[in-house]
Amino acid sequence: MSAPAAGPSLLEIVDGSVSYGSGDMVSHVSIGLRPGEIVGLVGESGCGKSTTARAMLGLVPLSSGELLLRGKPASGNRRELRSTVQAIFQNPAASFNPKRSLLDSVIEPLRVHHRGSRAEQRHRALRELDRVGISELVAGRRPAEVSGGQCQRAAIARATVLSPEVLICDEPVSALDVSIQAQILELLAELRAEQRLAILFISHDLGVVASLCDRTAVMFAGKIVEEGAATEVATRPRHPYSLILHDSAPELDRPPTWQPRLKIRQGADDVDGRTLPGCRFAALCPRATPECEQAQPELEAIDAGHLVACLHPVDTSPGTDPERDEPDLAQPGPAGPVLPEPADSTPSGTTPDLHRSALH
Ligand SMILES: Nc1ncnc2c1ncn2[C@@H]1O[C@H](COP(=O)(O)OP(=O)(O)OP(=O)(O)O)[C@@H](O)[C@H]1O
Ligand code: SF4
Ligand SMILES: [Mg+2]
């Protein structure tokens, strides 16, 4: 692992909102990426992860707030933004021209930016492809003639061939099988270590994010509800939504008696959290109290570097749940009870059902 990232953000959204015409889909979000830092962004389908990514790429305008590149408004320097920030997506094959070889597609950005002679462009593209594990033979094939993993490697080569400083990765491994996922994650970690690339890594898998990222931001209904060191958010989530997201992730080694610690409230599945006046998670939250419905909780520090937007954060620190033998949430112990709820809370549901929305 490279040295921890420090200093100012290279690329940063400050208090940014994005509206597609029917209200804010992303609301007052702040995310900064420092050189050599990998930040994970997790959350249910439709919460606004890709919209945030598009805003960081300058592809959708902010309705309020600012996008800063090296501390200055990116809107004043679109050209620099385009060459500094590159992206890879979930389905790499769709982003390649099906009629062209992978090599031609990796050469393309060099052509567009007039980098070197044709021979130099070819040499540079082949070197970049080789670095991500694509041989010259495979590079000569078209997208339909290679595997999903090879296609994603070529997409990474195409994104890094111009030596960007920031890579936005929107669910880059979600469509790949587990062994290929691991190889792509290793490649991203190498790129960060070798080139001090700043990476935004979007996923709906807290475990994958914890293994790769330095920090994690958890998003719900267009707002960041928790943010902190990736291991801290994965092992000791404090926001009820993060805890439910954590416990709803499939784990092979859980005993049959294992129970999630918080259960989502039933019967409010169709409530759009963005329209609620108070906390956007209130309709689904088992810890909601009447005051949660009054005003939106602000993201506030609960520990050093750990921020949570919740009036009743869950205490998941070791030793707080005496019925669990193993306090480390990364390795759940035997069945534990639902955590105590605030005295005046509304009743919780009976079955964990976040797979409906959190894991898709
Ligand atoms: N171009 C668009 N026009 C109108 N609404 C949009 C547009 N793109 C996205 N949205 C809406 O904005 C919200 C956030 O979408 P977004 O794609 O950012 O979610 P996401 O978190 O990336 O979801 P997923 O995990 O399914 O990829 C959704 O309600 C979506 O329907
Ligand atoms: S306890 Fe209240 S503020 Fe916290 S997530 Fe639940 S509804 Fe929101
Ligand atoms: Mg998306």
Give 256-313 pLDDT, tens digit per residue.
Answer: 888 888 888 877 777 888 999 999 999 999 999 999 999 999 999 999 999 999 999 9
Cβ of residue 19 lying under 6 Å from some atom of ligand 1: no
178: confidence class by pLDDT, cuts 50, 70, 90: confident
Predicted pLDDT of residue 17? 97
Q: What's the mean pLDDT in 91-108? A: 94
Give 331 Cα–ligand 1 centroid separation in angstroms: 33
Cβ of residue 223 lying under 6 Å from some atom of ligand 2: no
Predicted pLDDT of residue 122? 97
Question: Rounded mean pLDDT of the chain?
Answer: 85
Ligand number, closest to the Cα atom of 313: 2
* 72-73 and 64-69 beta bridge pairing: antiparallel
Give 54 Cα–ligand 3 centroid separation in angstroms: 10
Highest mean pLDDT pick, 54-58, 72-76, 346-350:
54-58
Q: How far apart are CA 43 and CA 112, in angstroms?
A: 35
pLDDT digits (tens, 9 = 90+) for 196-238: 999 999 998 888 899 999 999 999 999 999 999 999 999 999 9
For atom 3 of ligand 2, the residue with the nearest CA is 310
Q: Residue 253 carries which DSSP code?
A: T
- Mention the CATH class of domain 11-218: alpha beta
Q: How far apart are CA 169 and CA 171, in angstroms?
A: 6
Cβ–Cβ < 8 Å for 110, 161: yes
pLDDT digits (tens, 9 = 90+) for 5-42: 667 999 999 999 999 987 899 999 999 999 999 999 99
Q: What's the mean pLDDT in 181-185? A: 90
Q: Please give the structure tokens belonging to residue 68.
A: 């800063």
Q: How far apart are the first and last CA of the chain?
A: 30
Give 10 Cα–ligand 2 centroid separation in angstroms: 33
Cβ of residue 314 lying under 6 Å from some atom of ligand 2: no
Q: Which ligand 2 atom sits closest to the C-alpha of 280?
A: 8
Cβ of residue 191 lying under 6 Å from some atom of ligand 2: no
For atom 5 of ligand 2, the residue with the nearest CA is 310
Work out the percent of the chain whose per-residue pLDDT is above 70: 86
pLDDT at 350 over 60: no
Predicted pLDDT of residue 351? 30
Cβ of residue 309 lying under 6 Å from some atom of ligand 2: no
Strands, E assignment, the chain: 11-19, 24-33, 38-43, 64-69, 72-73, 85-88, 166-170, 198-203, 215-220, 223-229, 300-303, 306-308
Give 357 Cα–ligand 1 centroid separation in angstroms: 14
pLDDT at 2 over 80: no
320: confidence class by pLDDT, cuts 50, 70, 90: low
Q: Which ligand 2 atom sits closest to the C-alpha of 342?
A: 1
- The domain spans of the chain are 11-218, 237-360
Give 202 Cα–ligand 2 centroid separation in angstroms: 24
127: CB partners within 8 A, 6+ apart:
none
Give 269 Cα–ligand 2 centroid separation in angstroms: 16
Predicted pLDDT of residue 325? 40
Among 24, 31, 49, 59, residue to substitute to test ligand 1 (most atoms within 8 Å of Cβ): 49
Taking the model in full, what pTM does it have? Answer: 0.87
| Total residue length of the chain | 360
Phi-psi region of 308 (alpha: psi -120 to 50; beta: other; left: phi over 0): beta
Q: How far apart are CA 189 and CA 154, in angstroms?
A: 16
